[in-house]
């Protein structure tokens, strides 16, 4: 009896996901056709509504936090979940920023007149229905709505159960703003989050969903990308390397390395492995490891090889080099010059951001040419891979895949193109 109820609940959840996806597809043409000023007006009004209704939002958030504490969620999860007046203001500020960005829809990317007189152009158009699967942070709910709307897309949001009350309240505010502008509420919809199966329902809704973007842990992203039958964009896993060539200015290299590792340890552009050129002087090698340890970073490496130049490190296994620590830990390996670094990175890279410190032009050129990643950084910290730093404005995520978009994704990456051919009766 209980198992049957569960089946019924499961079926109901699945039907809710598909019904919402169908509604999203129905209203997509309305949102796709909106002129820029109409979209910007909604974004600004939504920002104002979020600020005005901060009290309600904080109340909903308090319920999530209370439940989270009862369920003994980790402090780090509770911190990502928690909203306060400042965070709400910052979320609203994000919408205002998106309102100020250039609308990508309608941009003509290329065009020509064919010998037969047909005039053709390739125009940016919205993707249509954009699904997001994400974890605790309620700000993603509003960010995804803002970027989707500005790029003419509708959003299907599958947030986590831990943030349910917060997400429901935020989406209520957004939907009421849409309705007040005579726009369909279904331009943003929250999907059920009772079970993991609702993720599966979303990522297999072929014909209804144009793209799903997962944002969160490596495990979540892998599950979405491998389980999906709709198109997905893999984002955010960053096992970023920083290679110090024998030709590097070691003092600068250490500053860049520390910046990449310790600026914020929980972000995908944080440095997770340092590669030290075997040809570097022993005292410089020692200085690199010591600087990390002095900054409170635990260095994991081959104990004997590090001992050989006078450094004491924690023992590392193969897994350490594949790990995205997201903590005050780093893996360290000694490699044979730039070719050794390139080979190590080819083996362990997640394709996010890979950096080199060197003064030798050949080493820099080889590294830039041979390393296969979204971003290759010469003589700067890995921390720069970020939509705002790149001058793109807000970002929806950082693609680590090769198709469609690679690196930080902003508004243009949430569009596709359409060829429009204008003839006068041509036949072939």
The site for its own copies (CB under 8 A) is made up of: 29, 33, 112, 114, 118, 120, 122, 125, 127-128, 206, 210-211, 225-226, 229, 231, 233, 249, 252, 255-256, 259, 263, 346, 357, 364, 368-370, 372-381, 383-385, 389-391, 401-404, 406-407, 416-428
CB atoms within 10 A of CB 18: 15
Of 70 and 219, nearer to its own copies (C-beta) is 219
CB atoms within 10 A of CB 232: 23
Q: Which one, of 313, 315, 316, 245, lies nearest residue 284 by Cα?
A: 245
Q: How far apart are CA 188 and CA 129, in angstroms?
A: 10
Q: How far apart are CA 395 and CA 143, in angstroms?
A: 9
Of 320 and 413, nearer to its own copies (C-beta) is 413
Question: Whole-number minimum distance, CB 378 to its own copies, in Å?
Answer: 5
Kindly write down the DSSP assignment for every residue of 123-148, as one continuous string: EEEE-SEEEEEE-S-THHHHHHHHHH
- Surface-to-core class of residue 159, CB atoms within 10 Å of its CB (0-12 exposed, 13-18 middle, 19+ buried): buried
Of 9 and 379, nearer to its own copies (C-beta) is 379
Of 90 and 229, nearer to its own copies (C-beta) is 229
Sorted by sequence, the CB contacts under 8 Å of residue 260 that are 6+ apart come out as 240, 242, 269, 270, 271, 355, 381, 382, 383
Phi, psi of 339 (to 5 degrees): -65, -40
Question: Whole-number minimum distance, CB 98 to its own copies, in Å?
Answer: 21
Question: Whole-number minimum distance, CB 26 to its own copies, in Å?
Answer: 9
Pairing, β 119-126 against β 108-113: antiparallel
Question: Whole-number minimum distance, CB 427 to its own copies, in Å?
Answer: 4
CB 275 within 8 A of CB 301: no
Of 44 and 225, nearer to its own copies (C-beta) is 225
Of 187 and 373, nearer to its own copies (C-beta) is 373
Sorted by sequence, the CB contacts under 8 Å of residue 88 that are 6+ apart come out as 50, 51, 54, 57, 58
Question: Whole-number minimum distance, CB 328 to its own copies, in Å?
Answer: 17
Of 71 and 119, nearer to its own copies (C-beta) is 119
Of 285 and 406, nearer to its own copies (C-beta) is 406
Question: Whole-number minimum distance, CB 28 to its own copies, in Å?
Answer: 8
Question: Whole-number minimum distance, CB 134 to its own copies, in Å?
Answer: 19
Of 85 and 229, nearer to its own copies (C-beta) is 229
The CA-based diameter of the chain, rounded to the nearest angstrom, is 80
Question: Whole-number minimum distance, CB 100 to its own copies, in Å?
Answer: 18
Question: Whole-number minimum distance, CB 308 to its own copies, in Å?
Answer: 28
Q: Which one, of 98, 355, 82, 103, lies nearest residue 240 by Cα?
A: 355
Structural tokens at position 113:
């007149």
Q: How far apart are CA 61 and CA 72, in angstroms?
A: 16
């Amino acid at each position: 009896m209980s198992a049957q109820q569960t089946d019924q609940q499961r079926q109901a959840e699945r039907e809710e996901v598909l019904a919402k996806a169908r509604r999203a597809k129905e209203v997509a043409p309305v949102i796709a056709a909106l002129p820029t000023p109409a979209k910007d007006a909604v974004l600004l009004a939504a920002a104002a509504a979020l600020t005005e209704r901060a009290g309600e939002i904080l109340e909903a958030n308090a319920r999530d936090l209370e439940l989270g504490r009862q369920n003994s969620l980790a402090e780090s999860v509770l911190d990502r979940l928690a909203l306060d007046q400042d965070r709400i203001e910052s979320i609203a500020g994000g919408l205002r920023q998106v309102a100020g960005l250039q609308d990508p829809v309608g941009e003509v990317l290329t065009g020509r007149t064919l010998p037969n007189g047909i005039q053709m152009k390739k125009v940016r158009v919205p993707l249509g229905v954009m699904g997001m699967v994400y974890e605790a942070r309620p700000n993603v709910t509003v960010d995804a709505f803002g970027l989707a709307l500005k790029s003419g897309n509708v959003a299907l949001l599958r947030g986590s159960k831990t943030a349910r009350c917060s997400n429901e309240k935020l989406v209520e505010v957004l939907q009421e703003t849409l309705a007040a502008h005579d726009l369909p509420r279904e331009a943003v919809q929250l999907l059920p989050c009772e079970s993991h199966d609702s993720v599966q329902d979303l990522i297999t809704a072929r014909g209804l969903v144009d793209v799903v973007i997962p944002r969160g842990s490596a495990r979540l992203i892998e599950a979405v990308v491998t389980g999906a039958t709709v198109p997905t964009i893999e984002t955010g896993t960053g096992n970023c390397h920083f290679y110090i060539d024998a030709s590097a200015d070691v003092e600068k290299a250490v500053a860049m390395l520390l910046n990449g590792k310790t600026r914020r340890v929980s972000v995908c552009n944080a440095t997770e492995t340092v590669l030290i050129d075997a040809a570097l002087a022993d005292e410089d090698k020692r200085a690199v490891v010591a600087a990390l340890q002095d900054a409170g970073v635990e260095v994991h490496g081959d104990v004997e090889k590090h001992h050989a130049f006078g450094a004491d490190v924690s023992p590392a296994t193969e897994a350490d080099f594949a790990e995205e620590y997201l903590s005050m830990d780093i893996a360290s390996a000694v490699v044979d010059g730039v070719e050794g670094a390139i080979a190590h990175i080819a083996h362990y890279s997640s394709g996010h951001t890979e950096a080199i410190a060197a003064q030798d032009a050949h080493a820099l050129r080889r590294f830039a040419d041979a390393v296969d990643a979204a971003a290759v950084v010469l003589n700067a910290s890995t921390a720069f891979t970020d939509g705002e730093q790149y001058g793109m404005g807000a970002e929806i995520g950082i693609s680590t895949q090769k198709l469609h978009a690679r690196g930080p994704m902003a508004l243009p990456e949430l569009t596709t193109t359409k060829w429009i051919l204008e003839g006068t009766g041509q036949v072939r």
